[in-house]
């Protein structure tokens, strides 16, 4: 097996928000690594903490209303402790971010070219003319037709798909080691979605960056990710290679997500959704946070939090069933 290095290490990360209703434990002690040149998929229902995890990596959370603890190590350097001046060098240059809404990611008052030029000036110290050459070249590489003309257009003059390509081009100008893609295709129509996903795959091959890919869409995850982490209520409940997670899911929540995906593909009338909803982060249930929705919940699940258990190499699950009632679950999976 080829040994790969970790490019990012998240250790015991907690993200708590101070709200009028009390402390909201959006992310509550998660640890994971991002390896060189891999795509790591973060998947889970809305509100489980995927986006705020990545905002913490970029140090984009409001310091006044957020309580952060743990470590986010990049090149051995803890991002959470870093000075703003160093973080500015990291954002955009070392770590890029592609959001769901490309229109919201660009400033509507400046042309695409002006925004690319700003990145080139800040991070690469290029002149306006050099930036133009680089920008147009990058737009060409991500498949934007007539890049010379597009370079001088405003964001509203481009379609959603083209704008997302432009956002990818803008991010690639500095060749960041890490790209964070937060639901990058959710706002696009299905054909354009597939084109953008293919583009991201080919870019990763060419540029060799690591990608954290956030989505609630398991179909997209199975296409894009090398490894998958399943999040539920501020915790990572299952980790594994994409193949392991899809072929051998263990956590009842992961299995529920899988069942919903399959039924959706077969256009069933009703989705076998997981009963109930994600709990409020101000009042997580005691014990396993999934227990009120879990058909296998036992006494212990209501009392204490399960720890990570190794299923096999690289596959970990946080569920009391393992080493206990796992076989019963196995039989009911199909």
CA distances from 54 to 27, 91, 125, 187, 221 (A): 11, 12, 27, 19, 17
Nearer to ligand ATP, 147 or 281 (CB): 281
- 26 binds ligand ATP per the rule CB under 6 A: yes
Strands (E), the chain: 6-19, 22-35, 39-43, 66-74, 77-78, 95-98, 178-182, 210-215, 227-232, 235-241, 308-312, 315-318
Give the angle subtended at the CA of 67 by the CAs of 61 and 68, to the nearest 5°: 75
- 13 binds ligand ATP per the rule CB under 6 A: no
Q: What is the DSSP letter of 18?
A: E
List the interface residues with ligand ATP, window 61-100 (CB under 6 A).
Answer: none
List the interface residues with ligand ATP, window 190-219 (CB under 6 A).
Answer: 216
List the interface residues with ligand ATP, window 235-294 (CB under 6 A).
Answer: 281
Please choose, out of 39-47, 121-129, 222-230, 252-260, the segment that lies near ligand ATP by the rule CB under 6 A.
Answer: 39-47
Nearer to ligand ATP, 121 or 216 (CB): 216
- 134 binds ligand ATP per the rule CB under 6 A: no
**What gap in Å lies between CA 113 and CA 152, rounded to an integer?**
6
Residues 6+ apart with CB under 8 A from 177: 7, 94, 95, 209, 210
HEC secondary structure over 243-255: HHHHHCCCCHHHH
Nearer to ligand ATP, 99 or 151 (CB): 99
Please choose, out of 43-51, 68-76, 161-169, 219-227, the segment that lies near ligand ATP by the rule CB under 6 A.
Answer: 43-51
- 24 binds ligand ATP per the rule CB under 6 A: yes
Nearer to ligand ATP, 45 or 135 (CB): 45
Task: Please list the residues that pair with 211 across neighbouring strands.
Answer: 39, 179
Q: Which of 7, 40, 48, 288 binds ligand ATP (CB under 6 A)?
A: 48
Nearest to 80 by CA among 59, 51, 94: 59
Q: Which of 10, 41, 49, 255 binds ligand ATP (CB under 6 A)?
A: 49
Binding site for ligand ATP (CB under 6 A): 17, 19, 24, 26, 44, 46-52, 216, 281
């Amino acid at each position: 097996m080829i040994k790969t290095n970790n490019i990012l290490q998240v250790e015991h990360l907690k993200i708590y928000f101070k709200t009028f209703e009390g402390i909201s434990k959006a992310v509550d002690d998660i640890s994971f690594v991002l390896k060189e040149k891999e795509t790591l998929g973060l998947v889970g229902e809305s509100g489980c903490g995927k986006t705020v995890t990545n905002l913490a990596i970029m140090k984009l959370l409001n310091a006044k209303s957020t309580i952060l603890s743990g470590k986010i190590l990049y090149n051995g350097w803890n991002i959470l402790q870093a000075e703003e001046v160093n973080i500015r060098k990291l954002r955009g240059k070392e770590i890029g971010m592609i959001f769901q809404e490309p229109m919201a990611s660009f400033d509507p008052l400046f042309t695409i070219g002006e925004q690319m030029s700003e990145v080139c000036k800040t991070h690469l110290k290029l002149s306006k003319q050099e930036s133009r050459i680089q920008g147009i070249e990058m737009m060409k590489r991500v498949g934007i037709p007539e890049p010379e003309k597009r370079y001088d257009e405003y964001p509203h003059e481009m379609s959603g798909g083209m704008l997302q390509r432009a956002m990818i081009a803008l991010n690639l100008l500095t060749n960041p080691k890490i790209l964070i893609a937060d639901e990058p295709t959710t706002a696009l129509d299905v054909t354009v979605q597939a084109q953008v996903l293919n583009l991201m795959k080919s870019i990763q091959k060419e540029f060799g960056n690591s990608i954290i890919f956030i989505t609630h869409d398991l179909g997209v995850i199975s296409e894009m990710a090398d490894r998958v982490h399943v999040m539920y209520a501020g915790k990572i409940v299952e980790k594994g290679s994409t193949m392991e997670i899809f072929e051998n899911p263990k956590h009842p929540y992961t299995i529920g997500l899988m069942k919903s995906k399959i039924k959706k593909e077969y256009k069933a009338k009703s989705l076998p959704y997981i009963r109930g909803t994600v709990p409020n982060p101000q009042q997580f249930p005691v014990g396993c946070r999934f227990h009120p929705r879990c058909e296998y919940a036992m006494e212990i699940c209501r009392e204490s939090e399960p720890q990570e258990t190794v299923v096999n190499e690289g596959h970990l699950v946080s569920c009391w069933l393992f080493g206990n009632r796992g076989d019963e679950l196995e039989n009911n999976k199909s």
